[in-house]
Chains A and B, each alone.
Chain A
Amino acid sequence: MGQIMGGKNGPYNHVDFGKRIVTPNLGTPEPDDRAGNPYYPDNKIQTTKYTILSFLPKNLFEQFHRLANVYFLFIVCLNFVPQVQAYGKEIAMLPVIFVLLVTAIKDMYEDYRRYRMDKEVNNRICRVYSGAEKQFKGCMWEEVRVGDVVHVGCNEMIPADLVLLKSSDKTGVCHLETANLDGETNLKTRETALPLQEAPSWEEGEHFWIECGRPSSDVYKFNGRIKHRKTVLPLSKAQLLQRGCVLRNTDFIEGIVVYAGPDTKAMLNNSGPQYKRSKLERQMNIDVAFCAVILVIMCAAGGIGNGLWINWYPQDSAQLFIPPIEGQSEGLDPALDGFIRFWMYIVIFQVIIPLSLYVSIEVIKMGQVYFIHQDIHLYDHSSDTSLQCRALNITEDLGQIQYVFTDKTGTLTENMMVFRRCAVGGKDYAHNIKDEMKGEEALRKSIVHIPGQTTQDFIMDHPMVPEPNSILQEAVESVYTEAPPSGEQGNYSELEEFFMVLCVCNTVMVTTGHHDPQESIDQQAIGATSGARWDASGDNIAFEPETDSTSTGNTSQTTPIQYESESPDEAALVYAAAAYGYTLLERTPRSVRIRKPDQSEITLGILNILHFDSTRKRMSVIVRYPEKNEIVLYCKGADEAIFSQLDANIEGQQEKQLTVEGHLLNYSQEGLRTLCMARKVMTEADYLTWQGEYTKAAQHLEARDEMVYMCACRLEQGLTLLGATGVEDRLQEGVPDTIAALRRAGLGVWMLTGDKQETAINIGYSCHLLQKGDNVIRFNCHDGKLIDQQLKEICLQLGACGCQQCRPQTASCMEKLHNFCCRCGHTVEASNTCLRQQRNGAVDASEVGYGASLDITKKIRRVVPAAWIGPDEDVRHMPPKQNSVKTTKSLQGNASSGDPCLVVDGRTLALLLEEQRADWLLAVARECKAVICCRATPLQKANMLKLVRDRLKVMTLAVGDGANDVSMLQAADIGVGIMGQEGMQAVMASDFSTPRFSFLRRLLLVHGHWCYYRLATVVAYFFYKNAAFVFVLFWYQLMNGFSGSAPGDQYYLLFFNILFTSAPQIVLGVLDQNLPDDALSAFPELYAVGRESRTYRREHFWWNICDALYQSAVMFFIPYGAYADSDVGIWEFGITVMGVALVVTLAHLAIQIKCWTYPHVLIFLASLLLYLIFSLVYSAACVTCNPLGNPYWLFQHTISTPEHWGLLILTTVIALFPRFLYQYVQSVLFPTRVDRARLFTTRPYGDERSSTSTATSFVIS
């Protein structure tokens, strides 16, 4: 880590293969012969997976990575073995080819779209310096190479990752909008590394080189250095212009390409959502394995049966009638024949492993995603975005979530910061907001501000500007009117310095009027722009200071100032400072210009900015006061991060800290975000020493970040506390309702935040995560030894595991403790089930009387018509005596404590997450109604989530909006990114992105419920259908000596699944609704169906297999009975059986459909019609085209017999009778909540959907 600068040895002194040296492509005449940088890819991007030539092999190769496809390929190959051959060689390939083709077409279409986009991007024009012609020449993006010098004009897109060399701006700065990269719409500043006058001149072919690290996907990281003439200077991300960004506010820039095409950060980040597999699919795959077992059993039974039959069948006559085994001249060897039959049966029974299942599920999910995208309720008008499904294959997981982990800032809250309070000079000042506007809509609107009012200064009109506190205002004014108070420490005014910190210590950009160049004619364009477009002539900042209303002078020329910031907190602070007259006028990388309340302007030189990072939790700016020639470090940060760095020697510091801490406590209790401000004066010598170290650190290629961190920490010591601020972060609209709904839905809602404990708790209260009367347990313990003891105490307080069996009523404390340790340590799974029962107290009758379940029951009763809850589950239906006893007992149990809620802070969390305590933590956390983790780092958030997900084996959903939530989003089963103020990082990592938190309610409760219900029903049906079909074939083997004969033509056998019966289930999977959306939304309790996987479980699979067994027996033996000892031929019988199978399976599906609409009807009719037409045409088409079951006129002949129709009706009724009866008995005598809700929501209104008004009237009752 030591030696970094390679001044003497040049760039080659420490060889690293990942490093790249870039030299400019200048002076060489031939564009194809560009010198210097031969190894790096050019700027052509290719996001397509295939080329025309490689499509077929590559796509097939990928498709055969799927186990199912390999299996079916194996079957096809097996069918090519002559002895085993069950179907025509070519015909047997049809289904597989069909499936492959559908997938291939889908892939091809997607790839073609990518190709089109690539082509468009590659053919964009930019200007590249041509050494031959000594000028910039138009050039397509794809022709740009590493080392090219590129000229980019205002509002143009950067074609590749450039290092900025020249800017039209005299300070060497340019402004960049990075929305395409990270979604942040505020402008970023980039500056040249070399002083302007030293910029290399292309015309003279001046040589220089750049050394930088290997391409990386980290958008925020770029280290390197540039050697020009004699100097070597560090490069950082401040010099890097990333591909895809747009140049703003700057006339032009010139830069050299360092990363091109696939190496650019934009492309490296363009990985797309990662593949997650849904719970249902995981479950399904196991069931597919069971199907394989069933298949093997059936095949073995068939093979053995065949051997036995041959054994029994007299050999001599067998020769007469039954041809011997293929390839053998005579004789039937039972063992050999049985063995061959086994393989043949695998071919014949292959469909029990549902080939079409995977394709159908993909199609269904595409349909589901389409409808989620189309949902108008998930469209946010103000941002013109709607909820986006980025992961297309986990829609049904939305209906199975058990725990929701949410970030606070920007997720639950607006991330729209409003300055509320400040503590300075030992006093606390409160602020009101001008034009207090309620709701997000108002705030959003006001951002696009109309700078038309001539009498009003723009800044003062901004919604984020607080109304100055009059007392503070006076105090501020007195600083300038009165003589410097002698009582102050040092020669500075604490007030002024406080505001200077607010003003200076940030990275806020000053922007001027938002005029769209295209619309510049209409200077007053009302609401024409969002913060995304800037005037090119941005550097004439005219600003009229308007701190008091008396000076209503020459404001007609005013170009209003607005502040743009990566962090909304900073902007709020700058606006607040402006309210008191400390106005930030201009910010360049080297200086800031500030206007003070006395109208004097001061320009401070900025020596260094030590950016905020999550470990230090503070940021600092080192400024030089020109007149005093004083170097001051301004620092702001989290309270603990500042307090720990204060200079303890300064007199009064301790007391001041105590006062401020008191204020901070108040602030955070109000739910405000707090920051502390501090300063430190440095001597020139100290600074220079430090700066030397810092420069070294900053130039380090590998360990730069660590070294910079250490440097910064070294400097940020011995601070003097100035004051503190409290900034309000408003709750998003609909958050409390949404959280309440999610809780009613039985979801555990956990809040993981980086904020202070008090702030977090207060936000928790305001968003109804916590409620008045809750027993909030704050768990702050930073001692590894004490924590075990405390954990135990909390366990005791909560009554350990939480269900009746786990809670010994009379046990002593020690016993309890022991029990707890045993249970929670080793049987988390068991107690988990207990907990589940407890959560669903309203459903499981046995748990009635237990406190928590009673409580939940009560809660549900508040909002649900009691009839939804089964009679025996209802406490009131109990015999009164028993009832009262139980109630009082449970009330006593809970009266003392209220609902427990756990609040853990970050350091405690770090200890708790350790392996040996994890189970305990979970045991406690599960017991709690709500859990809040504050001061959590991004990694802790992810670890917490993983812990819950893996140990409790639950489905988790994480919601977040910022880069700090990315790891959590990726760890969760479903990551939901909020498209908010903090850029697109979270959205990029998410599976679903939503403009508002409150959409979560509809997404989960309505779409999640539907998707789960639909897919679960379809999957269960799929297994049933294929099994039933195969079992029919199996029954026939009993009749034909286990020879592998199939009743029916091979086309029917192969097309049954993929043609005749595939569409209706897709319609069900996409369109069916077991309940209308308003009912699902109004009664979140209904979500339990999916949360507990009630629609599709392992037992459902087996029940469906049993049903298939029964139905197949009916489908086969009823026709058999009717045709026994008649002159019916094998193919006529086959047509009847196939027809019966088709009608029964379709009718089976039909009785499962809960909501018939015209697409349902159409598709069902179309399926039947397809079958009829296919059969008629096929039977009439050719006389000898199919050697095995010559179909000529078969179908016509068969359907002209009355037996066929009589059997069709009879068999359908008999086959579906038990299931129908079961459904009826279940829904009338043992109705589930959904059944009751259906009864309620649909009955009185017939075909019309129920109205929400009546639904809510029940809520009230």
Chain B
Amino acid sequence: MSAEGTRSGDKKPRDTAFKQQRLPAWQPIMTAGTVLPAFYGVGLLFIPIGIGLLVTSNNVQEIVVDYTNCKQAGANLTCAEVVQNVSSPGTCMCQVDFTISSDIAGSVYMYYGLTNFFQNHRRYVKSRDDDQLLGVKQSRSTLNTDCKPYDGETVNGTFMPYAPCGAIANSLFSDTLTLSYGSTPVGLINTGIAWWTDKNVKFRNPTGSSLQDAFSDTLKPKYWQNPVYELDSNNPDNNGYLNEDLIVWMRTAAFPTFRKLYRRVNHTDTFQDGLPAGNYTLTVDYKYPVTAFDGTKRMILSTVSWLGGKNSFLGIAYIVVGCICLVVGLVFTIIHIKYGKNNPEDPVGFSAAAFTNE
């Protein structure tokens, strides 16, 4: 039931640019005049960027030492074989000698690298309890169920959660790496390797009269040899959940081949100008088994540029893309010059005008 008819003109639409779809517009048109300069522009922009990136990356010096199969000191076994027996982990010390052929200038960082380690596996990734790591004391009911089966144990009828729980923490990288230049030990700092926000916001120790007391009703994770409050007994600020090795490990890697920052070389006393060329010895307290899943372990010494570590991929990619753009631009310029201009069948001539313009 409509209303009574209205007087003429009432229903007339308003004549505004928006309603009549006549807004001022920019109508990009793909012509040789607009697109070819874009190709050249991208090419000319990308190649220098790529070169810059490549140079930066090449300036990063990197020493990689694979110590997966290093031999136990004084024995004929490889440490891998010794450690493989998870149920009765033996101790295995081994040494790897390597040479740095040229001086490494600037700050040097030590990484450990793993391969074939699926830290990004879905069930692995979520097997953690962030609240627990924030210092909240968790009971059986509040503990993240994704931590199972590394959630805890029932001792004497009471449930004691692992601290920290979950598969990530359980598989904490446990090798200890030390480095010496000839016979001079290289000073390694185990702090300042985690994100500031992680260290200061995301990870907190639970409260207690002492650190040990704070973790009183927890157990050490299944495969750990020491409880969490003994991760760095020397430095209370780097102990418990605040231990930076733990924090770094807990930030799971994106790919099965990854490296994680382990130590910073102390450049304050001996090695003020970086690491000089020469023979070095890596001493490993070998605890971490990787051979069972065909993994490898590496120690990496690397400097850092503004771009991060050594990776020439980005620079090369930029250069390649830039070159392709230039080539394509060139090809189409030739096509355009050869066929575009003298288009005899164009009676109006505006397509020719389009080609020659700009």
- The distance in angstroms between the C-alpha atoms of A1125 and B302, with both chains bound, is 13
Interface centre among A1047, A1183, A1203, A1221 (most CB of B within 10 A): A1183
Task: Judge if B75 is at the interface, Cβ distance under 8 Å.
Answer: no
The reply to whether A244 and B260 contact each other, CB–CB distance below 8 Å, is no
Task: Judge if A1127 is at the interface, Cβ distance under 8 Å.
Answer: yes
Interface mask (A317-332 → B, CB under 8 Å = 1, otherwise 0): 1101111101001100
Binding site for A on B (CB under 8 A): 1-2, 5-15, 19-32, 35, 42, 46, 49, 53, 86, 111, 113, 117-127, 129-131, 134, 144, 146, 148-150, 167, 171, 195, 197, 201-202, 223, 251-261, 289, 292-294, 306-309, 311, 313-314, 317-318, 321, 324-325, 328, 332, 335-336, 340, 343, 345-351, 353-354, 357
Task: Judge if A15 is at the interface, Cβ distance under 8 Å.
Answer: no
The reply to whether A1157 and B149 contact each other, CB–CB distance below 8 Å, is no
- The distance in angstroms between the C-alpha atoms of A1139 and B21, with both chains bound, is 33
Task: Judge if A1106 is at the interface, Cβ distance under 8 Å.
Answer: no
The reply to whether B255 and A1039 contact each other, CB–CB distance below 8 Å, is yes
Interface centre among B23, B42, B318 (most CB of A within 10 A): B23
Interface centre among B144, B254, B258, B308 (most CB of A within 10 A): B254
**Which of A278-286, A351-359, A376-384 lines the interface with chain B?**
A376-384
**Which of A543-551, A621-629, A1237-1245 lines the interface with chain B?**
A1237-1245
How many chain A residues have a CB neighbour from B under 8 Å?
108
Nearest CB of B to A1009, in Å: 13
**Which of A191-199, A721-729, A946-954, A1116-1124 lines the interface with chain B?**
A1116-1124
Chain A residues 168-209 with CB under 8 Å of chain B are 179-180
- The distance in angstroms between the C-alpha atoms of A1184 and B130, with both chains bound, is 6
- A1041 touching B293 in the complex, CB below 8 Å, given contacts A1124-B311, A1202-B307, A1247-B24: no
10 closest pairs, A vs B, by CB?
A317-B292, A1133-B254, A1043-B122, A1157-B23, A1193-B197, A374-B19, A1184-B130, A1040-B120, A1121-B313, A1045-B122
In the complex, what residues of A have CB within 8 A of residue B201's CB? 1183, 1192-1193
In the complex, what residues of A have CB within 8 A of residue B350's CB? 865, 867, 1239-1240, 1243-1244
- The distance in angstroms between the C-alpha atoms of A1188 and B313, with both chains bound, is 30
In the complex, what residues of A have CB within 8 A of residue B308's CB? 1126, 1201-1203
In the complex, what residues of A have CB within 8 A of residue B197's CB? 1192-1193, 1197
Task: Judge if A692 is at the interface, Cβ distance under 8 Å.
Answer: no
- Name the contact of A1197 in the complex, choosing from B8, B195, B254 (C-beta under 8 A): B195
Q: Write the chain A residue with the least CB distance to B116.
A: A313
The reply to whether B31 and A1040 contact each other, CB–CB distance below 8 Å, is no
The reply to whether A322 and B253 contact each other, CB–CB distance below 8 Å, is no
The reply to whether A1040 and B121 contact each other, CB–CB distance below 8 Å, is yes
- A244 touching B1 in the complex, CB below 8 Å, given contacts A1126-B308, A1239-B350: yes
The reply to whether B121 and A1210 contact each other, CB–CB distance below 8 Å, is no
- The distance in angstroms between the C-alpha atoms of A384 and B289, with both chains bound, is 85
15 additional A-B pairs beyond A1071-B21, A1157-B26, A1159-B23, beta carbons within 8 Å, are: A117-B1, A313-B293, A877-B345, A1040-B256, A1044-B122, A1127-B253, A1127-B258, A1133-B254, A1155-B27, A1210-B321, A1213-B325, A1214-B317, A1214-B321, A1228-B31, A1258-B348
Q: Write the chain B residue with the least CB distance to A183.
A: B2
Task: Judge if A16 is at the interface, Cβ distance under 8 Å.
Answer: no
In the complex, what residues of A have CB within 8 A of residue B294's CB? 314
The reply to whether A1227 and B223 contact each other, CB–CB distance below 8 Å, is no
The reply to whether B124 and A323 contact each other, CB–CB distance below 8 Å, is yes
In the complex, what residues of B have CB within 8 A of residue A381's CB? 8-9, 12
- The distance in angstroms between the C-alpha atoms of A1008 and B344, with both chains bound, is 35
Nearest CB of A to B318, in Å: 6
- A1156 touching B149 in the complex, CB below 8 Å, given contacts A1040-B122, A1127-B261, A1240-B350: no
In the complex, what residues of A have CB within 8 A of residue B19's CB? 371, 374, 376
In the complex, what residues of B have CB within 8 A of residue A877's CB? 345
- Name the contact of B121 in the complex, choosing from A266, A1045, A1122, A1227 (C-beta under 8 A): A1045
In the complex, what residues of A have CB within 8 A of residue B346's CB? 867, 871
Task: Judge if A42 is at the interface, Cβ distance under 8 Å.
Answer: no
Q: Write the chain B residue with the least CB distance to A86.
A: B122
The reply to whether A1127 and B345 contact each other, CB–CB distance below 8 Å, is no
In the complex, what residues of B have CB within 8 A of residue A1213's CB? 42, 46, 321, 325
- A1157 touching B124 in the complex, CB below 8 Å, given contacts A384-B10, A1223-B30: no
- Name the contact of A323 in the complex, choosing from B123, B253, B293 (C-beta under 8 A): B123
In the complex, what residues of B have CB within 8 A of residue A217's CB? none
- A1249 touching B31 in the complex, CB below 8 Å, given contacts A321-B117, A1127-B253, A1183-B202: no
In the complex, what residues of A have CB within 8 A of residue B123's CB? 322-323, 326, 1043
The reply to whether A371 and B21 contact each other, CB–CB distance below 8 Å, is yes
The reply to whether A321 and B124 contact each other, CB–CB distance below 8 Å, is yes
The reply to whether B347 and A867 contact each other, CB–CB distance below 8 Å, is yes
The reply to whether B167 and A1193 contact each other, CB–CB distance below 8 Å, is no
In the complex, what residues of A have CB within 8 A of residue B113's CB? 1125
- The distance in angstroms between the C-alpha atoms of A371 and B53, with both chains bound, is 50
The reply to whether A1224 and B30 contact each other, CB–CB distance below 8 Å, is yes
Task: Judge if A386 is at the interface, Cβ distance under 8 Å.
Answer: yes
Nearest CB of B to A539, in Å: 24
The reply to whether B27 and A1238 contact each other, CB–CB distance below 8 Å, is yes
- The distance in angstroms between the C-alpha atoms of A1258 and B126, with both chains bound, is 68
The reply to whether B256 and A1039 contact each other, CB–CB distance below 8 Å, is yes
Q: Write the chain A residue with the least CB distance to B147.
A: A323
The reply to whether B313 and A1130 contact each other, CB–CB distance below 8 Å, is no
Q: Write the chain A residue with the least CB distance to B346.
A: A867
